[in-house]
Amino acid sequence: MPQSALTPVRERALRSLTQLPPFSPILNRLIASLAQQDVSFAKMADLIEKDPVLAGNLLKLVNSALYGRRGTINSVRHAVSMLGINKLRNATLSMSVSRMWNHVKTPPGWSLARFNVHSVGVAILSDLLAQKLPVDHGEGAFVAGLFHDIGWLLVVLGCQEEYQQITSAGFEDEPAGSELELRTLGMSHAELSAEALAAWNLPEPIQTAVRYHATWELDPGSGAVNRIPLSRVVCAADYYVRHRGHHLNVFESGHDSEDALSDWLGLGEQLPGILEEFDIEFSAIQEFF
């Protein structure tokens, strides 16, 4: 019997982490900066200027019509001051991670572009929601959204036969599909995603949010009164982005999207403004994927 047949699915999936390119120096620095509230414009600009492709894409983004800028911005430092640290960091993270994934060879039928757009959409909306709500560890919302489905990529790379079993079943009902996922893989893609983040030494609250993003009711949380677990925010953002048609080729058709945002998070009258801001940011950055 071949060695691969003796290897548990989980181990094969996690082993595929070695097929992913290492984080670039700028990506490592950006993730490390998440815990710092006083990152200076100059430090961010210095990081970005060292990557000509990234700097060019950032300038293109800032000068896009959707941002409605007057005049042409042709320096990274000006772009940083216009966008602000938070949006600048998020855009740079999105572009850097997308470039990293584009070096990965995936099997036919898996769209890295679809994966990128879905992940970035969930990241943007998670971050916007965390800015408006009392969210536990809200500073990690963007990264949690960006990596919430990395487990599916690991399954595609390391467990193609099992992935085909799941997707060929044709489930449109998510609970039934999730049950098949557990039976086939022995764990959920969310758990795989969290294990990948642990291997990358990302902060534990981000790991927890990713682990429970599909089952946020089970998230042990911090126990803080009147705080919303980050996993619930990522889950609601995931539902909404799927409803917009940006879902993966698994049992992930969107449903109850705005109800999820309103009922699960209690947004009320804030919701239209958040979704309008999301539309602007998401539309502006999609062309880079």
User: CATH number, domain at 151?
Assistant: 1.10.3210.10
Per-chain mean pLDDT for the chain: 81
CB 267 within 8 A of CB 246: no
Q: Is residue 256 part of a domain?
A: yes
Token representation of residue 23: 């984080």
Instruction: Tell me: do 112 and 49 sit in the same domain.
Output: no
Question: Quick check: is 232 in a domain?
Answer: yes
Total domain count, the chain = 2
* Burial call 11-44: b when 16+ CB within 10 Å, e when fewer: ebbbebbeebeeeeebbebbbebbeeeebeeeeb
147 plus 202 within the same structural domain: yes
Same domain for 254 and 276, yes or no, is: yes
Instruction: Pinpoint the alpha helices (H) of 63-173.
Output: 76-83, 85-101, 112-132, 141-147, 150-158, 160-168
Does one domain contain both 61 and 125?
no
pLDDT the model gives residue 1 = 38
Confidence of residue 166 (pLDDT cuts 50, 70, 90): confident
Q: 282: closest CA among 162, 126, 125?
A: 125
CA 265/CA 228 separation, integer angstroms:
8
Indicate the SS3 state at residue 147.
helix
Residue 97 lies in a domain: no
Q: Are residues 34 and 174 in the same domain?
A: no
> Do 73 and 184 sit in the same domain of this protein?
no
pLDDT(45) > 50: yes
Q: Which residue range(s) make up the domain with 114?
A: 3-20+104-286
- The per-residue pLDDT for 181 is 80
Same domain, 166 and 276: yes
pTM beyond cutoff 0.85: yes
Select from 201, 192, 202 the least CA-distant residue to 158: 192
Does position 4 have pLDDT exceeding 50, yes or no? no
CA distance 64 to 256: 32
User: Which band of pLDDT confidence, cut at 50, 70 and 90, is reported for residue 261?
Assistant: confident
Query: How many angstroms separate the CA atoms of 32 and 26, rounded?
Result: 10
**Residue with token string 């490592």:** 28
Same-domain status, 26 and 130: no
The confidence score (pLDDT) of residue 187 equals 84
